[in-house]
A and B are shown apart, each in its own frame.
Chain A
Amino acid sequence: MRPNSAFRSPRRWLAMLAVAGVFCAGLGAVSSEPIRKSFATIANPSLLLHSHSGTISVKGWDQNQVEIKGERASESMDVLIDGNAEKVTIQTHPKRQNLSPQEAQVNLEIHVPRQTLVRVESERGDIAVEDLEGGVAVEGVANSVTLSRIRGYITARTVDGPILIRASEGHIKADSITGDLKFVQVNGSELIGTTNSGAIHYQGDFGSGGTYVLHNYSSPIEIQAFPKASFDMTARSVLGTIESQIPFLPLPPGTPFRRSTTGKLLQGRIGTGKSTVQITSYSGTIRLSGGR
């Protein structure tokens, strides 16, 4: 008996190497195995997503279904998905310690019913949420956050990533520490935008008769009011300047903040003064334009 006879033929060992290669290729394919899962839901479920790194897209659609697609940068990340008709949770979790941000990346694209209440927590990566009416909360660190066509309660926070909210309405709160805030065609009963050293840009008509509060410590605040805008404005910068190209009318007597204070102060009315706008900065320049 010759136990090694099977290996004496070059064809056999070439075949073995080929099989080994195919097996290794299979392993490689497994490491990039896509994430796909869906849940039939009620019309207004909740979605909770806790991710560490990677791009996140959440879009509303006209189906009572949550659909999750995604991919991992490495097999070192677990993606735990659990759900039922009322609630879907997604959590990325490292299998080992000391993962780099690149290894921890999980990119997710999620479709949810429009009335879904969405909460996203993440440390790194772009976050985009759009076409929702059930309320959105985003908690980021170094993320770039973009919220589009959202109605309802909107909360977005970052440490050093920019926040852009556009074509949205509701009760809106956006704050960052060093990130910029940008609002384009955003209206609501209340909008509060706060950043320490980021710039603030608002472009719109301050509609819905709401209260708009924008303030930072330093960096410019730029307001571009649309022609149909109607609001009472109080702008103040303690050490910075105020540059206005808006033809404000004087405010009626009894308006708050009218007493004399240090620094630059501008108060005035556009249209019938339906909404209230307060802009403050300690050392940033406030620029106002538009409104005709």
Chain B
Amino acid sequence: MKCEEFEREWQELDDSALLSPALEEHRQVCSPCAGKVRDVNLIRWQARQMVEAEQPPERVWLHLRRQLDQQGLIREPGAWPSLARLVTFAWLPRLPLGLAYAAVFFLALGGVLYLRDLVTHVSAPSPAPATAVAQPPAASPPAETLTRAEAVQKAIEAAPPEVRRVIEKAPPDRQPAYVANWQELNPSFTRVDSSINVLEQYVAAHPDDPLARSQLYTVYEQQNRLLELLMRGEEFR
């Protein structure tokens, strides 16, 4: 397969991380194309991190809104003060009070942002509320979850057998983190897998070569280390 064919077929994929065997074969031997795939996977991964940016739970906003509403500082459309009241500047004496409330509001907002870790840790251990705030009502969060679950499943299916075995043995709630780890370590996995393939062939052809066997053993150790690293630090994903 040529690089142009690879690019054309790759762009037509629904999920650019899920390569067909022919594309995968080309990627293994073509470092420029492998680099493009790696870059796109990295961008996709970073984009997911941005979507997951933490925000205060929705109830904090609702609580603030209710308080401001009770104080008369905000009103629903159509409930504005009468024109006469505006014309007579009856609101003017309350301006300092309003500004003071605004200051308190921003102070509270700062406090909420500052303490958001504590709030989310105590009463909302799951990051789901952040998604709910970022996305307007409807059923978008389940759709997002479904898409992500599908993406994780596809990534697992696309992983090399030894990686897939490790990920599939993990509890389901940790599998996304392991997949993210694998995507991050994928360049190293690819190099090590390639080395193993080449060295295994060489050792098979030269069984009496002690140095080649030693090198193959070293590369097996490197692969084991990468598999251990798959299971690290899921709280950072």
A residues apposed to B, CB below 8 Å = 4, 7-10, 12-13, 16-17, 20, 23-24, 27, 31, 52, 75-76, 94-101, 104, 123, 141, 157, 159-160, 175, 177-178, 194, 196-197, 215, 217-218, 236, 238, 257, 261-262, 280, 282
Contact = CB atoms under 8 A, between A and B. Distances in A.
Contacts of A215: 214-215, 218
B58 interface: no
Interface residues of B, number: 47
B222 A196 contact: yes
B107 A282 contact: no
Given A20-B107, A99-B236, A217 B229 contact: no
A265 to B, nearest CB: 10
A75 B114 contact: yes
A32 to B, nearest CB: 13
Contacts of A75: 114, 117
A236 B209 CA distance: 12
Interface string B207-230: 001011011001100100110010
The 3 A-B residue pairs with the shortest CB-CB distance in the complex, in nearest-first order:
A13-B96, A7-B97, A20-B103
A101 B46 CA distance: 11
Of listed A4, A97, A196, A215, residue having the most chain B CB within 10 A: A97
A8 to B, nearest CB: 6
13 contacts: A7-B96, A13-B96, A13-B100, A20-B107, A75-B117, A96-B127, A104-B236, A123-B236, A157-B225, A159-B185, A177-B188, A178-B191, A217-B215
B213 to A, nearest CB: 11
B59 to A, nearest CB: 17
Nearest to A23: B107
B235 A97 contact: yes
B237 A159 contact: no
Contact of B192 (A12, A98, A196): A196
Of listed A9, A20, A218, A280, residue having the most chain B CB within 10 A: A20
A52 B232 CA distance: 11
B153 interface: no
A74 to B, nearest CB: 9
B209 A8 contact: no
Contacts of A99: 235-236
Nearest to A94: B235
Contacts of B121: 95-96
B133 to A, nearest CB: 14
B192 to A, nearest CB: 6
A78 to B, nearest CB: 10
Given A238-B212, A282-B198, A282-B199, A177 B191 contact: yes
Contacts of B111: 27
Given A10-B96, A52-B236, A217-B195, A98 B187 contact: no
A218 B219 CA distance: 12
Contact of B110 (A13, A27, A159): A27
A215 B129 CA distance: 51
A100 B46 CA distance: 9
B188 A159 contact: yes
A59 B91 CA distance: 65
A261 B93 CA distance: 97
A52 B52 CA distance: 19
